[in-house]
Amino acid sequence: MSEVLLDFNNVTMQFGGVTALNEVSLQIKQGEILGLIGPNGAGKTTCFNVMTGVYAPTLGTVSFEGKNLAKLKRFEITKVGIARTFQNIRLFSEMTALENVMVGADARKKASVGGAILRTSRQRHEEKESRERSMELLQFMGISDRAETAARNLPYGYQRRLEIARALATEPKLLCLDEPAAGFNPAEKEELNELILKIREQGYTVLLIEHDMNVVMKVSDRVAVLDFGQKIADGLPADVRNNPAVIAAYLGVEDNAS
Amino acid sequence: MSLVLNFWLRVTSLFSGFGEQFRAMNKWQRYSAYGLGVVALYLLPYWPDVPVLGQIVNTPGSQFETVLNDQVVIFVLIALGLNVVVGIAGLLDLGYVGFYAVGAYVTAILTSAHGNLPWLLALPIAVVISMLFGVILGTPTLRLRGDYLAIVTLGFGEIIRLTAKNMDWLGASRGISNIKKPPSMFGLKFGVLDAKPYFYLGLTMVFIVIFILHRLEYSRVGRAWVAIREDEDAAELMGVNTFKFKLWAFTIGAGIGGLAGVHYAGKVGFINPDNFPLQLSILFLAAVVLGGSGNMYGAILGGILVAYMPERLRNFSDKRILVFGIVLVLMMVFRPEGILPKRVGNEHKKRRAKSQEGEVAS
Ligand SMILES: Nc1ncnc2c1ncn2[C@@H]1O[C@H](COP(=O)(O)OP(=O)(O)OP(=O)(O)O)[C@@H](O)[C@H]1O
Ligand SMILES: [Mg+2]
């Protein structure tokens, strides 16, 4: 049994009267790809928001490598090693693709105002490192041909990939992807699956939110299912797929939709 | 209306056309162009003596070099500083005149009212104290969201002015006179009549500030500022210590505002609270927005226009503010991003990347 990286312990998250998460316990193990699925409004994104410090949980604790995250500010959580992408793309639209990634890389750098004004050797070294690493990540994500394009002018698929590159640049241990394949066609989804598997090969642990069951089942080592803020299943993809509660949750949604 | 629009498109295409040409030049051509530009700027006080050009630029009713220093240089410095806060980091500061006043008053206190320091020594002290005011004002307010900042800074500008007006120690409404002038340097004598030495000094300050801001802009600090402006939450989740960098933007802006105040006090030798009205904050902001919020060179252009145009148009002085208002409204409608919009990325780096691509392709 490998070591637990992130421990979600009995987390409840309420917004006024809405209970977005209800006593959810979830563990992410070092090196795995954990798929997190569930119908619309199940609380998946809220999980990310609690983990990354956007919201403080109403009850329960989140710890990372045994360290409670409650006292940490958001940017400190990034430095501890959790990075994320956003379901609705949130790039720095007036910055180039490369600069977007560099903001992520800068999270690990030290040079500040003094260093920048005096252009100290450390600052120049860090700057070079940020730039090179960011370029590498753009290449890895297959979008380096548009490195100097403003993020807002990038095609949709590039923007989604750029979000992942920016998150990777922060050198996370745990990478959280919130529906990275949303709006992709099957071929693009296939490419992204490959990329996610490659990312894991490089030693990152991945938490993946995804609506498309096929995608999740293909790439995940383990799948957790949320429904109305409650965890209703957690196990191997094949087992989860056949779990009656999961089938009911998904069928229920389809009924509503039609 | 379409006539105006047409004219406007022409003017703006003129600017971008110029940029294209400039970008097409090689390194040495560009450096010589910069060099010539700098020399031409230091010779600005003599422009009115040039035939034709002189007719166009000269200011009726006020001495040209006085306008250059007391209006243009001051506004450009201030637009540069305020642009860091408003344009780059996206923090709405409505009381920037407060820092300008702090710079001027500290100089006045140290060199005249309560001290006998030389101007040159008062300068760094005044800038640091202005920055301290930035920290004091920024620490509680920058934790809050935009609207609060706007209101608190608006109040700050007024508080500084009213404090100066009501404290005898600060000269009350009489103000403070006999402020020391900059010492003679490089053969320049800073007297009462000739504004040219002040202009040379002020222009040099502008260049130093540009140099510093340029280095900041294309560094981790500048990226953090723009990221905060674009999406503060996303920036923080990507590891940017947003509070720290907002405070830096605010503080650096305050320091530059203070510097402008020091220069102003040294030139006029006499200040009083009426020199720092709320209206000035609005004009400063108008300069940044008009020129192009977020683009250093846009802010400079805005500063020049807002400072210079009213003097140039002094002949129809009573309608100046009206014309200015109309121009601002038209800008809002037709070009909300300002005359020179934000630049995305670093042009030099882009050019280098392009030429490398070319090499690979060939
Ligand atoms: N800031 C908030 N304020 C109030 N309610 C919220 C907030 N954030 C989330 N919610 C509510 O919490 C519930 C879970 O939302 P969440 O975004 O986590 O769902 P999700 O599983 O990501 O859904 P989707 O698949 O649509 O992205 C929803 O009912 C949502 O309306
Ligand atoms: Mg969601």
Between A163 and B115, name the one with better pLDDT.
A163
In the predicted model, what is the mean pLDDT of chain A? 91
Complete domains list, chain A, with CATH: 1-45+57-81+195-204+211-258 (3.40.50.300), 85-170 (3.40.50.300)
Q: Of A206, A173, A210, which is closest to residue A44 (Cα–Cα)?
A: A210
Between B5 and B70, name the one with better pLDDT.
B70
Q: How far apart are CA B65 and CA A134, in angstroms?
A: 49
Distance from CA of A179 to the nearest CA of B (A): 17
Span A185-197, average pLDDT: 92
**A-chain residues near B252 (CB < 8 A):** 113
**Which class for B274: exposed (0-12), middle (13-18), buried (19 or more C-beta within 10 A)?**
exposed
Which of B127, B233, B237 is the best residue to mutate to test the A interface, defined by the most A CB atoms within 10 Å of its own CB? B237
Q: Which residues contact B125 (CB under 8 A, 6 or more apart)?
A: B106, B110, B117
Q: How confident is the model at residue A257 (pLDDT cuts 50, 70, 90)?
A: very low
Residue type, B216: L
Q: How far apart are CA A25 and CA A44, in angstroms?
A: 13
Q: How confident is the model at residue B360 (pLDDT cuts 50, 70, 90)?
A: very low
Given an 8 Å threshold on Cβ–Cβ distance, is B224 in contact with A170?
no
Tell me the β-bridge partners of A34. A207, A222
Between B165 and A46, name the one with better pLDDT.
A46
**How much is the pLDDT for B111?**
92
φ, ψ of residue B277 in degrees (nearest 5): -75, 160
Mutate-to-test residue for ligand 1 from A19, A24, A45, highest number of ligand atoms within 8 A of CB: A45
The distance of Cα A188 from the centroid of its chain, to the nearest Å, equals 18
The two structure tokens encoding residue B4: 């105006």
- Helix, strand, coil percentages (3-state) for chain B, rounded to 5, are 75, 0, 20
- Compute chain B's Rg from CA coordinates: 21
Span A27-44, average pLDDT: 93
Q: Of A19, A105, A28, which is closest to residue A62 (Cα–Cα)?
A: A28
Does the beta carbon of A43 lie inside 6 Å of ligand 1?
yes
Q: How far apart are CA A92 and CA B164, in angstroms?
A: 42
Question: What percentage of residues in chain B have a pLDDT greater than 90?
Answer: 38
Query: Which chain A residue is nearest to residue B88, measuring alpha carbons?
Result: A94
Q: Which residues contact B90 (CB under 8 A, 6 or more apart)?
A: B146, B225, B228, B229, B230
**How much is the pLDDT for A247?**
84
State in words which class domain B63-354 has. Answer: mainly alpha
Residue B11 has pLDDT above 60, yes or no: no
User: In this complex, which of A78, A112, A148 lies closest to B238 when CB atoms are compared?
Assistant: A78
Q: Mean pLDDT lowest for which of A56-60, A138-142, B12-16, B95-99?
A: B12-16
Q: How confident is the model at residue A124 (pLDDT cuts 50, 70, 90)?
A: very high
Q: How far apart are CA A176 and CA B231, in angstroms?
A: 19
ipTM field: 0.93
Q: How far apart are CA B182 and CA B189, in angstroms?
A: 8
B14 touches chain A (CB under 8 A): no
**How much is the pLDDT for B20?**
65
Between B341 and B80, name the one with better pLDDT.
B80
C-alpha separations of B204 from A84, B73, B208 in Å: 46, 10, 6
- Compute chain A's Rg from CA coordinates: 19
Does the beta carbon of A46 lie inside 6 Å of ligand 1?
yes
Between B348 and A82, name the one with better pLDDT.
A82
First to last CA, chain B: 49
Span A58-85, average pLDDT: 94
Atom 19 in ligand 1: residue holding the nearest Cα: A41
Long-range pairs, B139-146, Cβ under 8 A, ≥24: B139/B247, B142/B91, B142/B243, B142/B246, B142/B247, B142/B250, B143/B243, B146/B90, B146/B91, B146/B92
Q: pLDDT for B256-285, tens place per residue?
A: 999 999 999 998 889 999 999 888 898 899
Query: Which chain B residue is nearest to residue A74, measuring alpha carbons?
Result: B237
The two structure tokens encoding residue B23: 């970008």
Q: Mean pLDDT lowest for which of A131-135, B57-61, B77-81, B138-142?
A: B57-61
Q: How far apart are CA A8 and CA B107, in angstroms?
A: 58
Residue with tokens 């503060």: B232
Residue B53 has pLDDT above 80, yes or no: no
Residue with tokens 């990226």: B223
**Strand-pair category, A82-84 with A174-178:** parallel
Atom 16 in ligand 1: residue holding the nearest Cα: A43
Does the beta carbon of A87 lie inside 6 Å of ligand 1?
yes
**How much is the pLDDT for A176?**
96
**How much is the pLDDT for B116?**
85
Atom 12 in ligand 1: residue holding the nearest Cα: A20
**How much is the pLDDT for B203?**
93
Q: How far apart are CA B63 and CA B314, in angstroms?
A: 12
Residue B170 has pLDDT above 50, yes or no: yes
Q: How far apart are CA B360 and CA B354, in angstroms?
A: 10
Between B209 and A214, name the one with better pLDDT.
B209
Given an 8 Å threshold on Cβ–Cβ distance, is B215 in contact with A86?
no
**How much is the pLDDT for B175?**
82
Span B292-305, average pLDDT: 87
**How much is the pLDDT for B163?**
92
Q: Edge to edge, what strands does the sheet with A59-64 contain?
A: A18-29, A4-15, A59-64, A67-68
B360 touches chain A (CB under 8 A): no
Does the beta carbon of A230 lie inside 6 Å of ligand 1?
no
Q: How far apart are CA B327 and CA B186, in angstroms?
A: 41
The two structure tokens encoding residue A83: 């990075």
Q: Where are the domains of chain B?
A: 63-354
Question: Is B294 in contact with B83 (CB distance < 8 Å)?
Answer: yes
Span A36-41, average pLDDT: 91
Q: How far apart are CA A152 and CA B62, in angstroms?
A: 47
Q: How far apart are CA B149 and CA B156, in angstroms?
A: 10
Helix (H/G/I), strand (E/B), else coil: B324: helix
C-alpha separations of A255 from A120, A249, A252 in Å: 63, 10, 5
**How much is the pLDDT for B13?**
56
Residue A137 has pLDDT above 90, yes or no: yes
Question: Is A205 in contact with A174 (CB distance < 8 Å)?
Answer: yes
Q: Which residues contact B241 (CB under 8 A, 6 or more apart)?
A: A73, A75, B224
CB under 5 Å of ion ligand 2: residues: A 44-45, 87
Q: Mean pLDDT lowest for which of B168-177, B229-238, B296-305?
A: B168-177
